[in-house]
Amino acid sequence: MPSEINIMTNPLVHSQNKVKLGVMAFNCSHGSTVTNVPEAWAMTWEDNLALVRMADQAGIEALLPVGRWKGYGGQSNFNNRTFETLTWAAAVAAVTRFSTIFATVHAPVVHPVAAAKMAATIDHVSGGRFALNLVAGWFQDEFDMFGVKLEPHSERYDYAAEWLTLVKRLWSEDSEFDFDGKYFQGKGLWSEPKPLQLPRPPIMNAGSSEMGHAFSARHADMNFAMLRQKDDDSDKAQIAHLKRMAADLGRSSQCWIHVYVVCRDTEKEARDYLHRYVIEQGDEAAVDNMIRIFGAQSATLSDDVLEAFKFHFKAGFGGYPLVGTPEQIVDGIARLTKLGVDGMLISWVDYLPECRQWIDRVMPLLEQEGFRLPLIAHSS
């Protein structure tokens, strides 16, 4: 019987680094950048494999795929080519040794009995490095392919909570059980093997509405937040509110955010490149479709905020900008840690060379400034 691995060993949750790092969205064409530049991420398995090995060897804590089933149109047809995340995670788990491997799961399209079994399988393949990013769902165009109608927004998180309750029971209970809920019913439910991690694999949720915040506070170990970016004080208050909601329930929850990175030798070079891929060659049609769908179906941001966020959606799917020299990038990370950010999931325009640059130029500075432990100590 395999030895049990306690959740305390998972680098995602219990890394001693002041700022934890991850790479996201590279299982999708164009990653997180809605642009028509020729060097935008084409997304092949060979490049995915090279990237996960590079990140894993560098001690980056998390590798997170985006759950996407169809693109957003426009010239780029942003995200139209994607690898499914559970099968992706199993393959990535087999070729890595350190990083936590996520799968992003849409609760409305994956039955909890199947999800529990697949997650446990990946946890065994990885040696206890699996994590679940649970999505309640918001893109009805995708779910139309499954013949699934999304619940009204007010009920989506009730559905997700029941889904997760059932998964947790399948991960933990040693005897068959019957389940008779509002959304799921089943007899003689059972799943073996259990995940290696105890009490269970870590859970992330990106709910950004008030209902999503409440769900994350009650059920997730990590809230993946979209900062409003009005000013540092409002972002700090947003993060504090998320953590306080969990604390009021007797729980602790990390706050992770998405950052899009443009790092160059000079600030001017970085700003010029950002202008090129966002302003000069951003895919206006695709981002307009994205904002229309996101605003109508996610209840995350108001229409006026979404319109103001158009630049950030093209630059990196609404992420937080880290743009400039390696030193300026580190200064930006220092500011984010002061706001209460625990971890950052990174995207770039062209992942392979820019991740290499991050490892060679930015991570040594993070170690010098005390935000990261040296790799040899970090991985021991």
Supply the angle between the helices 85-94 and 45-57 in degrees, to the nearest 10.
50
pTM given for the model: 0.92
Of the pLDDT bands very low, low, confident and very high (cuts 50, 70, 90), residue 4 is very low
What pLDDT, on the 0 to 100 scale, is given for residue 62? 97
Tell me the pLDDT tens digit for each residue of 325-363.
999 999 999 999 999 999 999 999 999 999 999 999 999
Helical (H) or strand (E) element with 172? helix 153-172
For 305, the token pair is 């905020």
Tell me the pLDDT tens digit for each residue of 238-255.
999 999 999 999 999 899
Q: Which domain holds residue 340?
A: 5-378
For 135, the token pair is 């999505």
Tell me the pLDDT tens digit for each residue of 65-106.
999 999 999 999 999 999 999 999 999 999 999 999 999 999
- Domain CATH for 195: 3.20.20.30
- Say whether 73 sits in a helix, a strand or coil: coil
Rounded mean pLDDT of 203-226? 91
Nearest CA among 292, 341, 344, 315 for reference residue 31: 315
Torsion angle (degrees, nearest 10) of CA 327, 64, 310, 146: 170
For 182, the token pair is 């509002």
When divided into structural domains, the chain yields a total of 1
